[in-house]
């Protein structure tokens, strides 16, 4: 892989993103890792990456829309691949009562993604851009009473990527969405989730790095089945789900 190929990872401190950093570096890419928590990210990279000269760390806040253009302009290496992995979770009952948490989920999962990705794709001087990958969730497939606010933000993100895929088709830029199930991560720590359905961050990262032309990628055979069932389930039965 030519050394000049660069991956920009937005929300690089997520558990999946950190594993993706390791995989991309192993494949010969340079990585620009963007996050609000650069100290934690740097500690991870120093511990796990030997060739740190192929990695750049840069501050990025998905909700700071006014700073996004300056963030992009400052990039030393413009990206060939972009991974949007920023995430934020507030319990549905809390989100129903406290607007700030709801707004932050909207900003991180949808508004922030649209803001920065629009800037990236409209820079036609970057002829190296060839792929955009978004980390979404099965929570966005159908509205369920236990997590419909979080799910609605992921659904909006997925639909944005679907339209972006069509928009960029003539420029031969691939767009993929990773529709993931339960991931064992710091975001889900403490939640009462079925152990048999938990996926490791490394497994999701493998799906990210190996993404080809298929738009919707659902890692794990159990989650592929659940995804299909959710899409086909009649509304009266969806209403009975938790």
- pLDDT tens figures, 130-181: 999 999 999 999 888 889 999 999 999 999 999 999 999 999 999 999 999 8
- pLDDT tens figures, 225-236: 998 988 887 877
Contact 15, 183 (CB under 8 A): yes
Q: What is the CA radius of gyration of the chain?
A: 17
The tokens for 179 are 């529709």
- Mean pLDDT computed over every residue of the chain: 92
- pTM: predicted TM-score of the whole model, two decimal places: 0.93
Residue ranges of domains in the chain, CATH in brackets: 6-238 (3.40.50.720)
User: Averaged over 7-11, what is the pLDDT?
Assistant: 98
Cα–Cα distances in Å, from 14 out to 59, 83, 185?
14, 12, 8
Q: How many CB atoms lie within 10 A of CB 132?
A: 24
- pLDDT tens figures, 25-66: 999 999 999 999 999 999 999 999 988 899 999 999 999 999
Confidence of residue 2 (pLDDT cuts 50, 70, 90): very low
């Amino acid at each position: 892989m030519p050394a000049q190929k660069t991956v920009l990872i937005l929300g690089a401190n997520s558990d999946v993103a950190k594993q993706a950093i390791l995989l991309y570096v192993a494949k010969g890419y340079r990585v620009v890792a963007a996050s609000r928590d650069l100290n934690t990210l740097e500690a991870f990279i120093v511990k796990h990456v030997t060739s740190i000269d192929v990695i750049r760390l840069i501050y990025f806040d998905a909700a700071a829309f006014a700073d996004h253009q300056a963030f992009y302009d400052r990039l030393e290496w413009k990206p060939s691949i972009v991974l949007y992995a920023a995430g934020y979770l507030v319990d549905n009952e809390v989100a129903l009562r406290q607007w700030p948490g709801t707004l932050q989920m909207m900003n991180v999962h949808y508004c922030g993604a649209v803001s920065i990705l629009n800037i990236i794709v409209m820079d036609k001087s970057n002829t190296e851009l060839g792929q955009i990958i978004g980390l979404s969730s099965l929570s966005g497939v159908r509205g369920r009473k236990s997590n419909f606010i979080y799910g609605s933000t992921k659904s909006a993100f997925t639909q944005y990527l679907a339209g972006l895929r069509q928009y960029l088709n003539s420029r031969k830029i691939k767009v993929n969405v990773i529709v993931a199930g339960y991931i064992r991560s710091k975001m889900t720590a403490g939640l009462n989730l079925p152990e048999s359905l938990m996926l490791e961050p490394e497994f999701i990262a493998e799906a990210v790095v190996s993404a080809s032309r298929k738009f919707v990628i659902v890692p794990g055979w159990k989650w592929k089945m659940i995804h299909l069932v959710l899409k086909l389930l009649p509304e009266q039965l969806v209403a009975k789900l938790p």
